[in-house]
């Protein structure tokens, strides 16, 4: 969990997301190395799920491609082990309750710890159900990231007071995906978090352009971008590493300015 502290130690954090195994795990491995080189401060790896209810169409399709390519949780753990031999960047898994629960929460988090995953983000495990994962997370020293949404309102204090690592602030209603504008009063959400606990806040959902990232970075400690990167992976397939690296460079620069 110490690596999570480093995420926000050097100015505003840029946090890219890719679906592991899209288009295949060899490319995902190269993407992680290149994104780290290009300035990513933490990398989120999606473990593909057959029915990702919090995802928009872009990441849904990425999950389908990854599963069709034969990606499994065990193969992803193997890839993370290979990455960890070369890289010390903080890494988080993003997936759903079922792949973790069916794998066995204890075994899953033991493997996370052993291969160097620092945090997990599980959108369908809200505060009320975190007992499903938290004991194993604590046992193995993996942070369970809390999410807050524009609809959280009076729940923010409760959630933030027990949050670990950083708080994932969902920028908008709906599922993941690129949005032309973000209208939520995120500054207000973040102020409520900071009142409950002085913990870093990263904003995700809908961010794709350097301008949006720059605006969001002014009010938060970090910016999370998923669908915009996954779209590049979809567009360029096995040749996506260069375009993604260039995109991450550009985004990191926009929030550091």
Report the site for another protein in 174-203 (rule: CB under 8 A).
174-175
Total residues interacting with another protein, rule: CB under 8 A:
41
CA–CA separation, 59 and 57 (whole Å): 6
Sign of CA dihedral 119, 122, 125, 128: positive
108 close to 57: Cβ distance less than 8 angstroms: no
First to last CA, the chain: 28
Of the candidate spans 12-20, 24-32, 146-154, 247-255, the one that interacts with another protein by CB under 8 A turns out to be: 146-154
Distance CA 255, CA 257 (A): 6
Q: Which of 150, 200, 204, 226 binds another protein (CB under 8 A)?
A: 150
Contact 176, 207 (CB under 8 A): no
**Cis status of the peptide bond prior to 102, with omega within 30 of 0:** no
The residue among 54 and 249 lying less far from another protein, judged by its C-beta, is 54
Contacting residue, 98, 161, 183, 235, with another protein by CB under 8 A? 98
Of 103, 121, 227, 244, the one binding another protein by CB under 8 A: 103
Residue (82 or 155) nearer to another protein, CB: 155
**Using CB under 8 A as the criterion, which residues of the chain lie in contact with another protein when the complex forms?**
49-51, 53-54, 56-57, 60, 67, 72-74, 97-103, 123-129, 131-132, 147-153, 155, 159, 170, 173-175
């Amino acid at each position: 969990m110490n690596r999570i502290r480093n995420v926000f130690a050097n100015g505003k954090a840029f946090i890219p997301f890719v679906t592991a195994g899209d288009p295949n795990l060899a490319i995902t491995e190269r993407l992680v190395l290149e994104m780290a080189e290009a300035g990513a401060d933490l990398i989120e790896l999606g473990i593909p799920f057959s029915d990702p209810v919090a995802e928009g169409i872009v990441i849904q399709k990425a999950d389908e491609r990854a599963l069709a390519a034969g990606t499994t949780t065990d193969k992803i753990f193997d890839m993370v082990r290979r990455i960890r031999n070369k890289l010390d960047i903080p890494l988080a898994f993003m997936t759903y309750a079922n792949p973790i629960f069916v794998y066995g929460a204890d075994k899953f988090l033991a493997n996370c710890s052993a291969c160097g995953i620092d945090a997990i983000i599980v959108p369908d495990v809200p505060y009320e159900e975190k007992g499903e994962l938290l004991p194993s997370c604590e046992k193995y020293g993996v942070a369970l990231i809390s999410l807050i949404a524009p609809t959280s309102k009076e729940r923010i204090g409760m959630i933030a007071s027990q949050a670990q690592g950083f708080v994932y602030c969902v920028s908008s209603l709906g599922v993941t995906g690129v949005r032309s504008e973000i209208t939520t009063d995120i500054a207000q959400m973040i102020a409520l978090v900071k009142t409950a606990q002085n913990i870093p806040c990263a904003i995700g959902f809908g961010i794709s352009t350097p301008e949006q990232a720059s605006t969001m970075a002014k009010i938060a400690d970090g910016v999370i971008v998923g669908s915009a990167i996954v779209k590049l992976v979809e567009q360029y397939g096995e040749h996506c590493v260069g375009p993604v690296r260039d995109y991450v460079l550009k985004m990191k620069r926009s929030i550091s300015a």
